[in-house]
Amino acid sequence: MIFGFGKSREDDDDDFEEEIEPVSFQGALNGQPANLKDNARLVKAGLMTAKNIVTDGLALRAEYMRFEPKGERYQVLFYVDGVPNPGPKLSKQQGMAVVQVIKLLSGLNIQERKRPQSGGVAAELEEVSYQLRVATAPTPGGERLSIKAINMKYPLDRADDIGITEEIKDRIRDLSQGRNGLIMISGPPNSGTTTTTIGVVRSVDAYQYTIFALADPEHRELSHIATLDKKEGDTFDDELRRIIRMEADIIYLNPITDEQYVASILNVADEITMIAELSAKDAIAGIMKYSKLAGSLEKGVNSLKAAIGHKLIRTLCDQCKEAFRPNPKLIEKMGLPKSTKMLYRPPRQTVDDDGNEIEPCEKCDGLGYYGRTLLLEMYDMTDEMKKLIISGAEPAKIKAFAKKQDMPSFQKDGIRLVAEGKVSMDELQRAFKS
């Protein structure tokens, strides 16, 4: 068994724990060969521990793993469906060895410990291929390392894969008409904003519109979306102009980060539709941050076509979720459809009628949740909405106006998912608090 992972099964009269082969690392994503021979001492000290920890994380469905220096130890955290779960604690020396080995396998400079680095390594576990995207950051207590695990069997590169509804897709298609304005997607760091942005891009009819991608899709395939041949010396402005001259309809841009980048967007906002992401907690925060980079609320808001915010929320395990009849007053309070007869939650019963402990669900390992889906909000930049935001209205007033106009909201999307039996009320409340 590897760090507590494994299931007991009976064979004749003996119990034994099912072993799984440790993860196989298959080369850095940047093509940099890992010189294991010249780093034999490091490999001996950290490789097998690194393999075991990553194996545990992947077996537990962790989409994110973090190695965090804490005093004289390293704490490993596995994030399963966005919720942190404690992994093994390592000595400071062992933790440093594991971090350095993963850096070596990911094509990073193991001598550099004072600056952030990013890379990745291809991996395979039980015939499933993964990309492990690695990032490091210096801290006062040592080097932090994080791994974003991407299951290549489920690349999440289509709108349907991540839960974008037909209503949202129809709105995005409407916004695709006319070559002007920015469709901006906002979400907190490490919340899957790039995945949501690609889902928005894929919601556009690529047969009806000519779409170019300047952003790196990483592991995803953007079918029927063109990429621009890079020319040495070309600036971002040059690339935008070249694409516009090719009579493109839409450009999928790199993430928005600074004033100069926004200035280039503003220069062509009347000539082509653009789609890009920006790191912010929600759509309104994204509008404010983007407008600050633009130099004023008026400049920022007038260049926007729509602002989309997203949250990820855990979905109930369809193998073990428990149905219950809600109180009619609860249905009314939650704003659920009056026709709602049944809601769902994680299983509460832990023993059977004879008092024997019930085996945890094999699919979700007794968590009651399996996977995540999107909650989306969307602010169409109508003339009335622009005027309201430019006037300096508070977020609550902007949200109230959007609700009056029946624009998609986190609350509306969440209620839909609860009514459909995909999400529990407790999880909905947790997502709103986070």
Which CATH number does the domain housing residue 230 bear?
3.40.50.300
Distance CA 268, CA 214 (A): 15
Q: What is the pTM of this model?
A: 0.84
Buried b (16+ CB within 10 A) or exposed e, 114-146: eeebebbbbbebeeeebbbbbbbeeeeebbbbb
Decide if 1 is inside a domain: no
**124 & 206 share domain:** no
Supply 181's token pair: 């304005």
Looking at the fold, whether 169 and 256 belong to one and the same domain comes out as yes
Report if residue 359 sits inside a domain.
Answer: no
β-strand partners of 132 = 121, 149
pLDDT in tens, the chain (434 residues): 343 333 333 344 444 456 789 999 999 999 999 999 999 999 999 999 999 999 999 999 999 999 999 999 999 999 999 999 999 999 999 999 999 999 999 999 999 999 999 999 999 999 999 999 999 999 999 999 999 999 998 877 677 778 888 989 999 999 988 899 999 999 988 788 998 999 999 999 888 999 999 998 777 778 789 988 888 889 999 999 999 999 999 999 999 999 999 999 999 999 999 999 999 999 999 999 999 999 999 999 999 999 999 999 999 999 999 999 998 888 888 888 888 889 999 998 777 777 788 888 999 988 999 999 999 999 999 999 999 999 999 999 999 999 999 999 999 999 999 999 999 999 998 888 86
pLDDT confidence of residue 9: 35
**Are 167 and 147 found together in one domain?**
no
Tell me which H or E stretch contains 102: helix 92-105
- Looking at residue 154, its pLDDT comes to 83
Does some domain include residue 133?
yes
Element (H, E) at 418: helix 410-419
Domain boundary at 151, 173, 193, which? Answer: 151
307 within domain boundaries: yes
- Examine the domain organization and report whether 92 and 175 are in the same domain: no
Same domain, 307 and 209: yes
Cα–Cα nearest to 431, from 418, 421, 318: 418
d(CA 433, CA 82): 14
285, 141: one domain: no
Q: Which two tokens stand for residue 81?
A: 């469906």
Q: What pLDDT does residue 157 have?
A: 67
Number of domain units in the chain = 2
Same domain, 222 and 288: yes
Q: Sheet holding 304-316: strands in order across?
A: 226-227, 211-213, 250-252, 273-279, 182-187, 304-316, 369-380
State CA 370 to chain mean position distance: 15
Q: How far apart are CA 430 and CA 434, in angstroms?
A: 6
User: Is 259 a domain residue?
Assistant: yes
Q: Which of 103, 125, 151 is the last residue of a domain?
A: 151
Do residues 203 and 338 share a domain?
yes
Which of 151, 178, 197 represents a domain boundary (last residue)?
151
Domain with 127, as residue range(s), is 24-151
Residues 245 and 322 in one domain: yes
Q: Is 14 part of a structural domain of the chain?
A: no
Distance of CA 159 to the CA centre of its chain: 13
Domain-embedded: residue 122 = yes
Residues 6+ apart with CB under 8 A from 78: 56, 57, 60, 62, 64, 65, 84, 85, 86, 87
Same domain? For 376 and 312 the reply is yes
Does 215 share its domain with 245? Answer: yes
Backbone angles phi, psi at 121, to 5 degrees: -140, 140
Strands, sheet with 73-80, edge to edge from the N-terminal-most edge strand: 24-28, 117-125, 128-139, 142-151, 62-70, 73-80, 83-91
Buried b (16+ CB within 10 A) or exposed e, 353-383: eeeeeeeebeebbebbbbbbbbbbbbbbbee
Report the CATH number that the domain containing residue 100 is assigned in CATH: 3.30.450.90
User: CA-CA distance, 39 to 203, in Å (whole number)?
Assistant: 47
- Domain presence at residue 9: no
217: left (phi over 0), alpha (psi -120 to 50) or beta: alpha
Q: Are residues 122 and 172 in the same domain?
A: no
